[in-house]
Amino acid sequence: MKIKNIISVLEEMAPLAYAEDFDNVGLLVGDSETECSGVLVCHDALENVIEEAIAKNCSLVVCFHPILFSGIKKITGKNYVERAILKAIKNDIAIFAVHTALDNHSQGVNKIFCDALGLTNTKILVPKNNFIQKLVTYTVPDNADKLRNALFEAGAGKIGNYDNCSFNTKGFFTFQGNEDSNPVIGEKGKLHTGEEIKIEVVFEKHLQSRILKALFSNHIYEEVAYEIYNLENSHQNIGLGMIGEFENEMDEKEFLHFVKDKMIADGIRHSAFLSKKIKKVAVLGGSGSFAIKNAIQAGADAFLTADLKYHQFYEAENKLLLADIGHFESERYTKNYIVDYLRKKILNFAIILSEENTNPVKYL
């Protein structure tokens, strides 16, 4: 099996188009055409993880955090990033990162976080903007079903928990072809009028080329009339963070001890207790201070995230309990999810969970 075949499965799990613009996801090191001997899944592709991949005969390392994040001008082995990259290249090991592509997925990092805590009725905390487009096209009634179904098959027409969604309007068309035209309906040089269906569907913008291919392949017109619009609507099923509820509320200390146990956290920093019960909880794996206001607006009793600075604890504004459980801890079960996903999709192949603990933060 080639590395590119495994990448196809990884992109089904976490489409790279879901990643944030600042991020560096996908194949970072290696050749996708290379045969893969095995996959090692880790949190961070550090030098000791590459050594583990060598020992376990894995030629692809799938990591959550990208080892290459910002620009790099030299690879001389003078820091931990360069040493990991050098060792990977010398040993023909490819590195693939998922990071915010999985952060933004409705079944990704924050759903994993919620599931670990037993939260239900979950929904995205910070929906992704500027990600939805709308196609408007026109065809004759006899072609409408075939065209509409082809667009659905290509990924159009999905809204929340519904698919095959479209809006259709009856009208009439006029055209007159010139001498170079070859109309399917009517005759060139003559004005033609007939019944037409206007079809409107939404789609995720990274699917545009696939949608247009389906449009042109299944439309009967010589010249296909269509329009594409960028929508300002937020995507309710793609975005950062998540909010959910406990079946039974608990007091604040009980809640933090519960979180500490479930997420195996060595320490939790938190804002002042408010003497209120905790039932509705927002989470955001990794650095999530930017979403404090979102958690408050969503009516959360508590917000769990990581990497909070001193002054950011004030932003709780006595409206919720704000807790920093640790960056690694908030994403702890992500690599387990990736392993389980790959094992279900790729049978009889070595998919190995890294045994290395790459958390750089230690506690007394």
At 220-269, the pLDDT tens digits run 998 899 999 999 999 999 999 999 999 999 999 999 999 999 999 999 99
Q: Is the pLDDT of residue 71 over 90?
A: no
SS (H, E, C) 57-73: CCCEEEEEECCCCCCCC
Task: Confirm whether residue 65 is marked as ligand binding.
Answer: yes
Q: How many CA atoms lie within 13 A of 43 on its CB side?
A: 18
Q: Is the pLDDT of residue 166 over 90?
A: yes
Q: How far apart are CA 258 and CA 248, in angstroms?
A: 13
Mean pLDDT of 279-307: 98
Rg (alpha carbons) of the chain, rounded to whole number: 25
Hey, what domains does the chain have and what are their CATH numbers?
Answer: 3-99+333-353 (3.40.1390.30), 106-128+238-330 (3.40.1390.30), 131-231 (3.30.70.120)
Q: Closest by alpha carbon to 324, among 292, 362, 277?
A: 292
Q: How far apart are CA 122 and CA 323, in angstroms?
A: 19
pLDDT band, residue 28 (cuts 50/70/90): very high
Fill in the DSSP letter of residue 129: P
Instruction: Enter the tokens of residue 225.
Output: 């009339």
Give the pLDDT score at 72.
Answer: 86
Across the beta sheet with 278-287, what order do the strands follow? 120-128, 235-250, 278-287, 302-306, 321-324, 269-270
pTM over 0.85: yes
pLDDT band, residue 324 (cuts 50/70/90): very high
Task: Confirm whether residue 327 is marked as ligand binding.
Answer: yes
Burial 295-315 (b: 16+ CB within 10 A, else e): bbebebbbbbbbebeeebbeb
